Amino acid sequence: MYELAVIGGGPAGLAAAYSAYQNGLRNIVILERDKELGGILNQCIHNGFGLHRFKEELSGPEYAHRFIDMLKDTSVEVRLDTMVIEVTPDKKIFINSPKGYECIEAQSVVLSMGCRERTRGAISIPGTRPSGVFTAGAAQRYLNMEGLMAGKRVVILGSGDIGLIMARRMTLEGAKVLACVELMPYSGGLTRNIVQCLNDFDIPLYLSHTVTEIRGDKRLEGITVMKVDENRRPIPGSEMEFDCDTLLLSVGLIPENELTREAGISMDPRTNGANVFENMETSVEGIFACGNAVHVHDLVDFVSAESERAGAAAADYVKNGAQKSDVIEFKNGNDVGYTVPQKMHRDTKAEKIDVFFRVRRVFGKSKVVVSSGDEEIAVFKKAFMVPGEMQHLVIPADKLKAYDTVTVTAQEV
């Protein structure tokens, strides 16, 4: 019987396992389906990781290795090439690996499976179905892990961060990136990536545009791009033709939660992740969740911080049992897409509550109001907010404990 089983050895799982170890657990296992730890960071060879966490600029693999190195001198067991097939609410975990198919048991579980990319099907792009249409992450894997190029003349649909990073990466590798096309009137990625990956390479960004046709019987031969109206419907007459052999899709990420759902854990339809408390515990006692499996982050630094809280909470659960207390709920007000956590324990042991959220539209100078009914609990000033950048509030726990529900609202000032 393990004290803690961590499902997924990416940045979230690594941080959770290390934090649980620091908080006194000794019998911890990380279950990782790939042949090495690090998760998606292994293919993110660009820099920009760790500015918050380590105060320096690291590449993805370097960032992962900071944590892998920290784990080296611990008793944390790592099982690679091991896929979790099922987790039960009583924390039996069925795993499959070339070493065998077995059931292991744990006192606590951290779900840190990360996320996956939305595909062509999710957005129903019309046309034929040739090769040459990739998710940006798949093209990134081919290039950075396997030294293979997805193509030579590239259009990128969606301005999520992976797409932007790949625009630069493909250009540096000799491909011609013809355009980045974004359905929304604003970019879905970090501002720094728009500047460093598109502007610096003179790659045009077409906002309020989308791909309306894919052509080619065998390999992609071309696409049609059209401008869209305020209801995101293509405007006839606005067609632009691109002669390209590759279309990369960077159209959003979906938390991976098949295990979570099958375990009967309560889900939040807004995040596609589990509903979590301030200590990252899910609706099932002793099962915690963190990282992109809970909500999609922009920066790995925040994944690590959140996962450290999950790991510490799992250790607390193993040593002291479940936290029994009534619940304060967080609600999202106008133009706030979701909040994480969705709820907190009234008698939480935390002094400060980290609340993350995303706005639904672009905000200029604005304020974020945390309130309950007519009562303002806290106000945070923001110079600007965009959907592509996750917002972070730190609220003293004591300020919240008197209320049953707390609402987070964004307002322009």
Partner 1 sequence: MYDVAIIGCGITGTSIAYRLSKFKLKTVVIDKENDVAMGATRANSAIVHAGYDPVENSLMAKLNVKSVGMTYEICKKLSVPCKQIGSLVLAFSEEEAEHVQRLYERGVNNGVPGIKVLCFEEAKKIEPMISDEVKCALYAPSAGVINPWEYALALAETAAANGTEMLFSSEVTNISKTEKGYVITAGGKEIEAKTVINASGCGADKIHDMVLPHEFDITPNKGAYFLLDKSEGKRANCVVFQCPNKDGKGVLVSPTVHGNLIVGPNAVACDAEDTSATAEDLAFVRQKAVKSIPSVDFRANIRNFAGVRPNSTKNDFIIEANDGFIDVAGIKSPGLASAAAIAEYVEDMMRSGGVKLEPKASYTDERKQVRFKELSHEERAELVKQNPAYGRVICRCETVTEGEILDAIHRPIVPHTVDGIKRRCGAGLGRCQGGFCGPRVVEILARELGVGREKIEKDKTGSYIVRRRED
Task: Give me the 344-373 binding string for partner 1, x by CB under 8 A, dash otherwise.
Answer: ------------------------------
Nearest in space to 336 (alpha carbons), one of 409, 391, 259: 409
- Amino acid at the residue 228: V
**CB burial readout 22-53, b (16+ within 10 A) else e:** ebebebbbbbbbbeebbbbbbbbbbebbbeeb
How many Cβ atoms are within 10 Å of 284's Cβ, its own excluded?
21
Q: How far is the CB of 295 from partner 1 (least distance, A)?
A: 18
Please provide residue 307's backbone torsions phi and psi, each rounded to the nearest 5 degrees. -75, -30
Q: Does 384 bind partner 1 (CB under 8 A)?
A: no
Give residue for tokens 């991976």. 256
Q: Does 135 bind partner 1 (CB under 8 A)?
A: yes
Q: Does 98 bind partner 1 (CB under 8 A)?
A: yes
Return d(Cα 32, Cα 41) in angstroms, integer.
Answer: 14
Q: Does 127 bind partner 1 (CB under 8 A)?
A: yes
Site stretch for partner 1 (CB under 8 A), options 58-66, 119-127, 320-328, 389-397: 119-127
Q: Does 173 bind partner 1 (CB under 8 A)?
A: yes
Q: Does 148 bind partner 1 (CB under 8 A)?
A: yes
DSSP for 240-261 reads EEE--SEEEE---EEE--HHHH
In contact, 186 and 362? CB cutoff 8 Å: yes
Q: How far is the CB of 218 from partner 1 (least distance, A)?
A: 4
First to last CA, the chain: 55
Task: Out of 117, 161, 182, 281, name the contact with partner 1 by CB under 8 A.
Answer: 117
Q: Does 382 bind partner 1 (CB under 8 A)?
A: no
Q: How far is the CB of 101 from partner 1 (least distance, A)?
A: 4
Which of the residues 256 through 275 are near partner 1 (CB under 8 A)?
258
Q: Can you read off the two tokens belonging to residue 269? A: 């339809």
DSSP for 11-37 reads HHHHHHHHHHHHTT---EEEE-SSSSS
Q: Does 150 bind partner 1 (CB under 8 A)?
A: yes
Q: Does 186 bind partner 1 (CB under 8 A)?
A: no
Instruction: List the beta bridge partners of residue 86.
Output: 94
User: Which lies closer to partner 1 via its Cβ, residue 136 or residue 344?
Assistant: 136
Q: Can you read off the two tokens belonging to residue 290? A: 């963190």
Q: How far is the CB of 266 from partner 1 (least distance, A)?
A: 16
Q: How many residues bind partner 1 (CB under 8 A)?
A: 51
Q: How far is the CB of 73 from partner 1 (least distance, A)?
A: 29
Q: How far is the CB of 143 from partner 1 (least distance, A)?
A: 8
Q: How far is the CB of 363 from partner 1 (least distance, A)?
A: 26
Q: How far is the CB of 126 from partner 1 (least distance, A)?
A: 5
Site stretch for partner 1 (CB under 8 A), options 120-128, 200-208, 327-335, 354-362: 120-128
Site stretch for partner 1 (CB under 8 A), options 79-87, 195-203, 275-283, 333-341: 79-87
User: Which lies closer to partner 1 via its Cβ, residue 75 or residue 131?
Assistant: 131
Nearest in space to 121 (alpha carbons), one of 270, 223, 296, 249: 249
- Amino acid at the residue 250: S
Q: Does 149 bind partner 1 (CB under 8 A)?
A: yes
Site stretch for partner 1 (CB under 8 A), options 200-208, 215-223, 284-292, 379-387: 215-223
User: Which lies closer to partner 1 via its Cβ, residue 38 or residue 151?
Assistant: 151
Give residue for tokens 């499902």. 7
Q: Does 52 bind partner 1 (CB under 8 A)?
A: no
Q: Does 141 bind partner 1 (CB under 8 A)?
A: yes
Task: Out of 22, 96, 266, 323, name the contact with partner 1 by CB under 8 A.
Answer: 96
Q: Can you read off the two tokens belonging to residue 401? A: 């404990």
DSSP for 371-386 reads EETTEEEEEEEES-B-
Q: Does 81 bind partner 1 (CB under 8 A)?
A: yes
CB-based contacts of 281, cutoff 8 Å, min separation 6 = 287, 288, 313, 317, 323
Nearest in space to 168 (alpha carbons), one of 135, 189, 199: 199
How many Cβ atoms are within 10 Å of 82's Cβ, its own excluded?
22
How many Cβ atoms are within 10 Å of 55's Cβ, its own excluded?
7
Which residues contact partner 1 by CB under 8 A? 33, 81, 83, 85, 94, 96-103, 116-117, 119-122, 124-131, 135, 137-138, 141-143, 145-152, 173-174, 212-213, 215, 217-219, 234, 258
